[in-house]
Chain A
């Protein structure tokens, strides 16, 4: 049974002059222990969708089933109780500025029947988890963005929720800080078995920590599944565009456009793009084909990454040799599971 199941959600925002269909029959399911990414361009409906999970946003129709129970059917009071099981962190952290770090983290624990001592111990524990032991008596205004988000995470986790919702949690942070926050989330997922749902517009975030993802466009989920499948066989243009943003290989198209000297070919040469997934041995494949078919293969640039532990990447190469041998090379490499795109021929 999935931990979170969203069934046929619809939501339309009406203003005086217009109406926006923010969610259009959206369904998805998240298993316990997943790190589930939701990606889409601005206005795609990502925030609306994630906010439906804790009913900060009420869908017009559909079901929000958490741990087997449709929480839409519950009363206000019961919904508030359920929310304690669903932590949330935000792009702008949303800390309480008049409270110290410790008081921020203690917020969800107050009025919950715990003694002051129990609260204090739990706060200490959380500060340790997020690596901010020395800051407990400071105020949010004294922290950097990354530290603020750590406080946000500690506060969201204080009441021991099963689920953590993250709406653009790293979008206000620099790349290095983003990495450290993502690493923390991954660690929490492993250590505590925390189920995480992440909304982002950066495919690199999804690539870094998610095991599943959904791609949203105009209020619809246009593609969803395991990360590896999405990256290896993207079906929709929007998905491909997002994947392209995670590697520098797509820059080759810009270079071609501006007729860069780096890509100038001599007689008998062909420019090609080899892309591959789940194959570590492409470099050795290149030396194999150069010998087999008597071609020169010159790597212009390349990019290799790991998706869920599997290598994925591509190479931009210049192949030199006779037309027949080049064709044999391309066919052979293709048979080995490498996708080949010929970008340019000498003319």
Chain B
């Protein structure tokens, strides 16, 4: 069995430990930047929802500015974002390379996307539910927590799933600047040394990762939907 594996993927010989390490790095980068982006995304998402025209804390000027900022960061391609952010990254985490150095651009690349996902999730709350809550004397803060967040949990989970899947791609890209992880692994061996079988293994792991995230998301949504 093992012989067969190394027959098909000869260049994987002796790389097992490194592959494991790189997978760990990818997961770590995803996890940390994912959590931070989620926190930013949900805060900005709800802020956009409540301050938009007709929102419970309508503030069109504030909304317009925030919306433009999110759009700006959304439209910068990730690779350019990484380069652009090098000084910022250094200032924040002390280094612009390695797993730690990748987290800052990952957050900048993911948080705006996350914000839009959260905004879309929260926008699905019907105006009627908000009105019903208002008619029962709920305060704006109460509406945010008891209606917007509570009532859109499945939609939020869906947004989280989509965002984490896109994070898999970004994390691999962050490897291009020596961010470590699976992207780095594939580039060093598969791309630079023409070891295509290594690339294939990396792809298989990434696809498996995406599948696991998607199934987990679907499972939770199914559990929570009524």
Please report A residues at the B interface, Cβ cutoff 8 Å: 54, 56, 77, 80-84, 86-88, 90, 92-99, 107-108, 111, 139-142, 155-156, 159, 165
Q: Are A96 and B135 in contact (CB under 8 A)?
A: no
In the assembled complex, the Cα of A86 lies from the Cα of B137 at a distance in Å of 9
Tell me how far the C-beta of B130 lies from the nearest C-beta in chain A, rounded to whole angstroms.
9
Residue from B135, B136, B142, B153 in contact with A98 in the complex, judged by beta carbons closer than 8 Å: B153
Q: Which residue of A lies closest to B150 (CB)?
A: A98
Q: Does B226 contact A94, Cβ atoms closer than 8 Å?
A: no
* Docked complex: B113-140 residues within 8 A CB-CB of A: 126, 128-129, 131-139
Complex partner residue of A54 from B135, B142, B151, CB under 8 angstroms: B135
For chain B, the count of residues having a C-beta within 8 Å of the partner chain is 21
Complex-state Cα separation, A54 to B135, whole angstroms: 7
Does B135 contact A80, Cβ atoms closer than 8 Å?
A: no
Q: How many A-B residue pairs have CB under 8 A?
A: 65
B151 touches A84 (CB 8 A): no
Contacting pair A108 B131 (CB below 8 A): no
A141 touches B226 (CB 8 A): yes
Write out the residue numbers on chain B whose beta carbons fall within 8 Å of the beta carbon of A87.
Answer: 135-136
Secondary structure type dominating chain A contacts: mixed
Does B135 contact A97, Cβ atoms closer than 8 Å?
no
B137 and A96 contact, CB distance less than 8 A: no
Q: Check A83–B126 contact: CB distance below 8 A.
A: no
- Whether A94 contacts B131 by the Cβ 8 Å rule is yes
Which residue of A has the minimal Cβ distance to B127? A94
Given known contacts A94-B126, A98-B153, is B131 in contact with A83 (CB within 8 Å)? no
Q: Is the CB of A94 within 8 A of B129?
A: yes
Interface centre among B133, B136, B146, B224 (most CB of A within 10 A): B136
A56 in contact with B129 (CB, 8 Å): no
Q: Which residue of A lies closest to B126 (CB)?
A: A94
Question: How distant is the Cα of A213 from the Cα of B147 in the complex, in angstroms?
Answer: 35
For residue B101, give the distance in angstroms from its CB to the closest CB of chain A: 40
Q: Which residues of B contact A155 (CB under 8 A)?
A: 132, 136
Which residues on B sit within 8 Å (CB–CB) of A83?
A: 134-137
